[in-house]
Amino acid sequence: MARFTRAQLESFRDAVVPDLLGPDLRLLFVGINPGLWTAATQTHFAHPANRFYPALLQAGVIDRPIDAADGMDEADRDYFRSRGLGITNLAPRATARADELGAEELRAGGERLVALVTERAPHVVAVAGITAYRRAFGVPKAALGRQPEPFGGAVLWVVPNPSGLNAHHTVTSLAAAYAEPARAAGVLD
């Protein structure tokens, strides 16, 4: 596994990680913003404590492990895209913690997300993080799960954030939450 000093990670503050999108986008996962480890490896949800890929594997959304801590290689990226999966973020810039983002930055990210979804037309969008979703879209009472309104032509789900900082969820509970939008997108039976 890659090892970074605090100074090395800090050098990636405000870096951008490109979206991971393919031509047959069925399920678009939306993170809050890249963490510093993610920026260092140029791989979404890459921090070793992040449970995103283990939860996807347990849910059956992917059928082979992806160890993102060192960064995805092109074979991993191609495999992920071939499953009809994609990843983007509400805010593009890397920070040490999501709470470093302001409300305006999240709202602007929400507007960018609507444009991306309208352009790329995924079947389902799954925003990973209820608090960020509420702030980005001005829906303070939104709950986890399928949202009642379509989102840029897609079905919208809000799912728990897989960060290791989100102690309320386990890999098993995340897997259950991620399986629901995956079924709606036709990625799972």
- For 138-151, the pLDDT digits (tens) are 999 999 999 999 99
Render pLDDT for 132-189 as a digit per residue (tens, 0 to 9): 999 999 999 999 999 999 999 999 999 999 987 777 899 999 999 999 999 999 999 8
State how far the Cα of 33 lies from the Cα of 29, in Å rounded to an integer: 12
Mean of pLDDT values over 29-40: 97
The amino acid at 2: A
Using a 10 angstrom Cβ sphere, with 0-12 exposed, 13-18 middle and 19 or more buried, the burial of residue 89 is buried
Output the CA–CA distances (angstroms, integers) from residue 25 to 66, 80, 155, 171, 176, in the order listed. 19, 10, 13, 24, 21
Encoded tokens for 160 = 């728990």
Q: At what angle do helices 52-59 and 171-185 cross, to 10 degrees?
A: 60
What is the chain's mean pLDDT, rounded?
95
**Backbone torsions φ then ψ of 125, nearest 5 degrees:** -120, 130
State how far the Cα of 170 lies from the Cα of 179, in Å rounded to an integer: 14
CA 100 to chain centroid, in Å, comes to: 17
In the sheet that holds 124-128, the strands lie side by side as 85-89, 27-31, 124-128, 155-159, 145-146
